[in-house]
Chains A and B, each alone.
Chain A
Amino acid sequence: MKEPNRVPIIRVWNLLLVPVQGELGDTQAEDLKRDVLGAIHTGNVEGLVLDVTGLWLIDSHLCAVLTRLAQAASLMGTRTIVCGMSAEIALTIQTMGLELGAVQTALSLEQAFERFGVRAPEGEEEDRPVLESDLASSVAKGESQ
């Protein structure tokens, strides 16, 4: 049986999406690494997306956990992108001078998927309902493009 607070690993076509959340202790970090590498080993995995939206704090230990996971995935031929980092976390990591190593980052989950070549379906732009967040971001961009 699956332990209740094991981090889920979601397969989306040939990508693995891992919504990292909760308190990631040493045991959870080990489990996560084993589960992810196990999933990669079963084959047909082109990319790993670590979504950290659910984390409110990333310290150097957690950076090391994520970096090592990405390194191990890379040894198995799978590229990793971390997405969903809050501005506060990003600033803290930068101030501390922490190195995320070879791990790439993307702002949003959609951007992470796009980096792996997943595109929104044709017509998506016109057809889908306009979300409040879209309005907010176009205001923030000043609708320049």
Chain B
Amino acid sequence: MSSAYDQLLSLLRRYISQINAQNILARAIREVGIEKHQVSEAHLGELASKLEPSLRLFLRPAALASLQSELGSIGRPSAPLESISLAIKQEADIATARAQARDMCEKLGARRMTIQKLATVVSELARNIYMYSHGGTLEIHHAASPTSSLTVRAVDSGPGITNLDDIMKGNYKSRTGLGAGIRGTKRLCERFDIKTSPAGTTVEAEVAV
């Protein structure tokens, strides 16, 4: 990515609409007393504090906290992201997982459709962990060879899925949703494995980059 400004804007865009992101950022930059093209990593701290009051208008506390933690990591020399591991306990963790999936794709220079697929897979699996188990973990790994691919691993120690056959065949009627999350996820993936027992559920889903 080209500049600190672009990074900031693309981060904000994941939380609020383009137009709001541009306006809020323009205002914070003005308040810091610099011009758009002068924004550098040195200004990030100051910009973050100027952005906060405006962001409060748009975001729930959990989303605000997650944005702020992401703001903190802009500009830090980051090793090429090979993998991510996240605990999924609260609903806000689903949004964080999606955002991280998107980040990872962007760093890899993935196409928009790939980003969409991976983030959707992550969203489905993370929400299932949140809704049907007492919490679990979600990992995303990048493999460069034999072909570039991203693997999502969702693990929980919940009660397991009892009627997986019906769910995969589309014969299942969900009380909570459309009942199409797992089936749809499989269709987005190159490879999809699910192991489930009363001791928990593990899903491994691979998306080509």
- Interface of A toward B, CB cutoff 8 Å: 4-5, 21-23, 25-26, 28, 53-54, 56-57, 59-61, 63-64, 67, 88-89, 91-92, 95-99
A residues within 8 A CB of B170? 97
Given contacts A4-B56, A88-B112, contact A95 B180 (CB under 8 A): no
Question: Smallest CB–CB gap between A54 and chain B, Å?
Answer: 4
A22-B16, A63-B178, A67-B178 given; 7 more Cβ-contact pairs under 8 Å: A56-B14, A61-B127, A89-B116, A92-B120, A96-B180, A96-B185, A97-B187
Contact across chains for B17 and A96 when beta carbons are under 8 A apart = no
- B17 touching A60, Cβ below 8 Å: no
Contacting residues, chain A, for B59 (C-beta < 8 A)? 4-5, 22-23
Chain B, range 164-209, C-beta contacts under 8 Å to A: 170, 177-178, 180-181, 183-185, 187-188
Per the CB 8 Å criterion, the residue count for chain B at the interface is 36
Stretch at the interface among B32-40, B74-82, B91-99, B133-141: B91-99
State the 9 A-B residue pairs at the shortest beta-carbon distance, nearest first: A96-B184, A88-B116, A59-B123, A54-B17, A64-B177, A60-B181, A23-B95, A64-B178, A60-B178
| Contact mask for chain B residues 151-170; partner A; CB cutoff 8 A; 1 contact, 0 none | 00000000000000000001
